[in-house]
Amino acid sequence: MSGDLIRVLLCDDHAVVRAGVKAVLGTVRDIEVVGEARNGKEAVELAARLKPDVIVMDLSMDEMDGAEATRVIVAKDPTARVLIMTMHSEEEALVRLLEAGAAGYLVKNSADRDLVDAVRTVARGDSYLRAAAARALAKEIKRRETHAAEQEQFDKLSERERSILRLIAAGYSAPEIGGQLSISAKTVDTYKQRIQDKIGLSHRPDYVKFAMRLGLLEA
C-alpha cells in the first residue's frame, strides 16, 4: 500500500456495477480506485501494469472468468490480493476460488454493507469469508481429508482384494464372486477377512459407502 491508501482495481463486465462499487468505495478516504477492467483478460493486463493493493473481481464474465483471471494474476504475482464478488452465494465454488488464489469472497447484494470492510481486510493480508462460506470451506476440507484417508486405505489392499471389494459393493455374493474370479467361495471369505483386518469393512453397506465415496461404482 502507498502509505495508508489502498489502491483498488475493479473488474466487472457491467459498467453500472463498476460504478456502484466505485461509489461505495468512494465514501471512504483510505481507498482509491486506480483502474477498471471489463473482463478477466483486461484484469490480468491492468493488474500487471498498475500493481493494485486489492483486485475486486467479478466471478462470471466473458472471455476469461474471475476464477481463471485470479489464477493467472496470482501465478504472475503471488503477493496479489483478489477479492471475488458474485451475484449468488456459491459456497460450493469457494474451494476452487481459494485454490485459484483468491483472498476473499463477497456476495454483491451485501456489497453496500460489507465491501469496504472486505477490501480493508484483504489489503492487510487476511482472508475475508462470509460465515456460511467459511462453514462450506470447512466441510469441503473435511470431505477431502476423509477421501484422502480412504484412498490411502484402498491403496493398502492387494489387487485381488480391491477387485473383491468392488464386487461386494456391487452386490455380488461370495459364490458369484468366486465364479467371476475362478476361486472358491471360501477363498472369497478369506479375502473379505483380510479386507476387514486392513481397513475395517465388515458388512456390505460399509463396502457400498466406501466404494461410492471413492467412485469405485461409477463404471
- Is this structure's pTM higher than 0.85? no
pLDDT of residue 219: 46
pLDDT of residue 90: 57
Any bridge partners for residue 56, and if so which? 10, 83
What cell was used for 46? 491492468
pLDDT by 10s per residue, the chain, length 219: 656 899 999 999 999 999 999 999 999 999 999 999 999 999 999 999 999 999 999 988 888 988 899 999 999 999 999 998 877 655 556 667 777 788 888 877 777 788 999 999 999 998 887 655 566 666 666 777 778 888 889 999 999 999 999 999 999 999 999 999 999 999 999 999 999 999 999 888 889 889 988 888 764
pLDDT of residue 173: 93
Please, which residues have CB within 8 angstroms of residue 188's CB and are 6 or more apart in sequence? Answer: 164, 174, 175, 177, 178, 181
In CATH terms, is domain 6-130 a member of 3.30.930.10?
Answer: no
By DSSP bridging, strand 54-58 and strand 82-86 are parallel
Domain regions of the chain by residue span: 6-130, 147-213
The residue ranges of DSSP E strands in the chain, in sequence order, are 6-11, 31-37, 54-58, 82-86, 104-107
Q: What is the CATH number of domain 147-213?
A: 1.10.10.10
